[in-house]
Amino acid sequence: MKITALDAWVVPMRLVEPYQIAYETVTAVTNVFLRLGTNEGIDGYGCAAPDEHVTGETPGSVLRVLTGRVEESVVGSDPLRIAHVLETLRPHIEAHRSAWAALDMALHDLLGKKAGLPVWRLLGGYRESIPTSVTIGILPETDTVERAVAWTQRGFQCLKLKGGLDIESDIARIRKVREAVGEDAELRFDANQGYTVEQAVRFIEDTQLARLALVEQPTPRGKPDLLARVTRQVRIPVMADESLVTLRDAFRLARDELVDMVNIKLMKVGGIAEALHINSVARSAGLEVMVGCMDESALAIAAGLHFALARPNVEYADLDGHIDLADDPAADAVRIERGTIYPREGPGFGVAGL
């Protein structure tokens, strides 16, 4: 098999429900889709969800990378030699994380389609589905509670609340949500780097009765020692998100026992191949793993899901980034039933065309 063509195109998508986090308000997103054509008539699809705050990319920069250096390198190559293709390009594309992820996805999609198997089976096939959390952005207390109740009524038993702007409001919202949804729902909290160490510790102490399952990235990403200080002072798991981008980040977090958990997002780390390496580091250190996402087309969500289903130590999923996207060309790439997310039938990621 040989790659004969590469196509990349930009797809703006509006959010049905805009949301706010600690450092921005999001009303719309732009993903970049990728198609690798082959001489056997099989197409592989990938998707990039660039974010200047997280990956340092824009849709324009991703498009330039994919239609420039990547196209020059991959056309004529064997897509089944995934490691060879990715390592050849690593010096030129490693800094462009979501573009790298899109290429990685398209290669894995081709591998699955060539083998006639879904990617999750090729990677290990540990489970067939996984519960996912659903995210509630920073809203007034009453609106937060209404959203939380609505999601639980739809069958979601894991809610992730965003915060980090106002600790008093965050504490009050968490308490009220627990009262409203009862004892069975799992609550997670993501401060998106918005707290100091002292604020993070106080927040966790003052929400003890709400029984939070975890707190995600409470402190700034460039100062992992601050994460460690929070981790060592509290009794619930602390998760690194923005602080984990590279394999070296994973090694440092694990070696120095800076956190209890890590959030692996394909867009941050550069795709499934890198995610597998990072996951192995986490497993060796006894760190729990969650597979997360950005504001991504369901195609990219599918790639994260297939990775999550394949590995036994990936115990948590936060794969809801597609739910509120309007006009997603790959909207049916996954399905969610009562808070559990499933892959589509079919080889690769189950997407026949876009």
Instruction: Give catalytic status of residue 176 as yes or no.
Output: no
Q: How far apart are CA 245 and CA 270, in angstroms?
A: 8
- Under 8 Å between Cβ of 90 and 51: no
- Under 8 Å between Cβ of 74 and 6: yes
Going from the C-alpha of 276 to that of each of 89, 93, 247, 266, the distances in angstroms are: 18, 18, 10, 10
Please pick, among 162, 274, 296, 324, the residue that the annotation labels catalytic. 162
The 8-class DSSP code of residue 118 comes to B
Instruction: Give catalytic status of residue 166 as yes or no.
Output: no
**Pick from 48, 83, 45, 78: nearest CA to 64:** 48
Please pick, among 51, 57, 241, 249, the residue that the annotation labels catalytic. 241
Q: Is 257 in a helix, a strand, or coil?
A: coil
| Residues composing the chain | 354
Please pick, among 170, 190, 296, 320, the residue that the annotation labels catalytic. 190
- Under 8 Å between Cβ of 338 and 131: no
Instruction: Give catalytic status of residue 268 as yes or no.
Output: no
> What phi, psi does 50 have (nearest 5°)?
-70, 145
Show the CA angle centred on residue 243, arms to residues 241 and 246, nearest 5°: 100
Please pick, among 57, 265, 320, 324, the residue that the annotation labels catalytic. 265
Please pick, among 104, 109, 170, 216, the residue that the annotation labels catalytic. 216
Instruction: Give catalytic status of residue 265 as yes or no.
Output: yes
Q: Is 88 in a helix, a strand, or coil?
A: helix
Instruction: Give catalytic status of residue 109 as yes or no.
Output: no
Q: Is 51 in a helix, a strand, or coil?
A: coil
| Residues acting as catalytic residues | 162, 190, 216, 241, 265
